[in-house]
């Protein structure tokens, strides 16, 4: 950051803020404890008070943390990550539950499912990962942080209700993110269902489904009756094949926090979607302004797993604090590195908060740093 509050500067030097204010006053600047000064002024003050100044930039701390470029070798196919979006009451939750239960019934009998924000289902040995968080909010939050957590959007449209405002919103999000859409025309069991009306209405938003000569896959389903769910999964896998989704499992892991909370018994718990590499128990990772030594990982059925490969969502235990949904995750070499990164990020967070707190006195530029 190019600015710092007087309080934060004093903290970092282990000096009293009032002494900093006095020094500034001598130089003709009348400032209060939560006021912001620029980096150059801060450096002068620090030197005058007998401190050595080392400016730590984001680049220093974050260097090499994420690999933006695709791995050259070692790429292997990975399961698609799917988010279900659509207007309220059109059946997002029902569809997620139906897809999951169908799998639970077929798979591990009597498996106790728990909500972990994301889960995988398996069909004929092929996996699909569903993100099970309130669709739009999570999607936009993650996108705002430059993270891409979704390969495919399932757009749920109730056949008896048609295209609605949140349907259009979902289309806009998916398009802006460059994520392909599969249309699930839901509630076809209802007498009032009119799937063709849905198809026609979608044209307004330039969604042309295959049966109308376009290239957007559509499937008529009933989440309630379980109709065509297999077909939907099949279409997801087909779309995934077209996308040629790949990742290198043989490297340190990167991923994203899908959701996180402070659990009374277990401490901070985060659902992490692994996107590259393989996450292992014992790994040290940073997520936003928090870090963890992975103590345990649990899958959606509450089973402990030792490793999590690309597109696998797992609950991660062992965090020092609770990270935020949308935080990017990276495994680092050791605890010292994790602490360095997290210290820096927490400092930045505090500065941002105090700059906002001191309000209008900071310039607009400072507020945006
Ligand atoms: P969400 O708001 O999009 O998550 O929608 P919900 O899954 O909560 O569903 C809203 C309502 O529609 C609930 O009463 C569901 O039981 C009902 N519903 C969902 N899918 C179907 C379906 O395929 N057929 C019928 N008849 N009702 C459905
Ligand atoms: Mg719902």
The predicted model gives 173-180 an average pLDDT of 90
Structure tokens at 294: 């992975």
ipTM, two decimals: 0.99
Structure tokens at 276: 């590259």
pLDDT (tens digit, 9 = 90+) per residue, 243-268?
999 999 999 999 999 989 999 999 99
For residues 319 and 267, the answer to whether their CB atoms sit within 8 Å is: yes
pLDDT over 90 at 225, yes or no: yes
Q: Which numbered atom of ligand 1 lies nearest the CA of 90? A: 3
Ligand 1 contacts CB of residue 252 (under 6 A): no
Atom 22 of ligand 1, nearest CA residue: 187
Phi, psi of 186 (to 5 degrees): -100, 170
pLDDT (tens digit, 9 = 90+) per residue, 77-119?
999 999 999 999 999 989 988 988 765 544 444 444 556 778 9
**Measured between alpha carbons, how far is 309 from 246 in angstroms, rounded to an integer?**
12
pLDDT (tens digit, 9 = 90+) per residue, 132-145?
765 566 666 666 66
CA of 157 to the centre of ligand 1 (A): 11
Closest by CA to 174, choosing from 93, 85, 91, is: 85
| Residues in the annotated binding site for GTP | 86-93, 132-136, 186-189
Quick one: 64 exposed, middle or buried, by C-beta within 10 A (0-12, 13-18, 19+)?
exposed
Residue to mutate (ligand 1; options 90, 91, 99; most atoms within 8 A of CB): 91
pLDDT at position 49, please?
92
CA of 16 to the centre of ligand 2 (A): 52
CA of 156 to the centre of ligand 2 (A): 11
**Measured between alpha carbons, how far is 199 from 201 in angstroms, rounded to an integer?**
6
Query: Which residues fall inside 5 Å of ion ligand 2, going by CB?
Result: 92-93
**Measured between alpha carbons, how far is 286 from 292 in angstroms, rounded to an integer?**
6
| Residues in the annotated binding site | 86-93, 132-136, 186-189
Ligand showing the shortest atom-to-Cα distance for residue 88: 1
pLDDT over 50 at 27, yes or no: yes
pLDDT over 50 at 279, yes or no: yes
Ligand 1 contacts CB of residue 30 (under 6 A): no
Give the pTM.
Answer: 0.80
Distances (CA, A) of 101 to 94, 124, 153, 166: 10, 16, 20, 26
Closest by CA to 127, choosing from 68, 79, 84, is: 79
DSSP 4-16: EEHHHHHHHHT--
Residue 182, H or E segment: strand 181-186
């Amino acid at each position: 950051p190019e600015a710092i509050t007087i309080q934060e500067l004093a903290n970092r030097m282990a000096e009293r803020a009032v002494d900093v204010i006095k020094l500034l006053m001598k130089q003709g600047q009348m400032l209060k404890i939560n006021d912001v000064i620029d980096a150059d002024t801060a450096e002068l003050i620090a030197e005058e008070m007998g401190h050595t100044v080392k400016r730590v930039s984001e680049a220093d701390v974050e260097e090499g943390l994420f690999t933006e470029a695709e791995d050259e070798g070692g790429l292997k196919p990975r399961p698609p990550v799917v988010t279900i979006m659509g207007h309220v009451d059109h059946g997002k939750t029902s569809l997620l539950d139906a897809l999951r239960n169908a799998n639970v019934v077929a798979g591990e009998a009597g498996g106790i499912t728990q909500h972990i924000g994301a889960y995988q289902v398996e069909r004929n040995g092929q996996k699909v990962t569903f993100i099970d968080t309130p669709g739009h909010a999570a999607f936009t939050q993650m996108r705002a942080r430059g993270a891409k957590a979704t390969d495919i959007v399932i757009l749920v449209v109730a056949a008896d209700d048609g295209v609605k405002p949140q349907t259009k919103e979902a289309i806009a999000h998916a398009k802006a993110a460059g994520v392909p859409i599969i249309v699930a025309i839901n509630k076809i069991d209802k007498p009032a269902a009119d799937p063709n009306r849905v198809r026609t209405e979608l044209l307004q938003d330039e969604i042309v489904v295959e049966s109308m000569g376009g290239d957007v896959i559509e499937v008529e389903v009933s989440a309630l009756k379980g109709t065509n769910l297999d077909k939907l999964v099949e279409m997801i896998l087909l779309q995934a094949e077209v996308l040629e989704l790949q990742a290198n499992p043989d490297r340190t892991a990167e991923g994203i926090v899908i959701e996180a909370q402070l659990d009374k018994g277990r401490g901070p718990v985060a659902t992490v979607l692994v996107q590259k590499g393989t996450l292992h128990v014992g790994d040290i990772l940073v997520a936003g302004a928090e870090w963890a030594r992975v103590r345990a990982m649990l899958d959606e059925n509450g089973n402990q797993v030792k490793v999590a490969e690309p597109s696998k969502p797992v609950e991660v235990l062992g965090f020092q604090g609770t990270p935020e949904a949308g935080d990017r995750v990276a495994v680092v070499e050791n605890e010292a590195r994790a602490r360095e990164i997290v210290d820096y990020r927490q400092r930045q967070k505090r500065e941002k908060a105090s700059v906002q707190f001191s309000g209008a006195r900071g310039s607009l530029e400072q507020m945006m740093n």
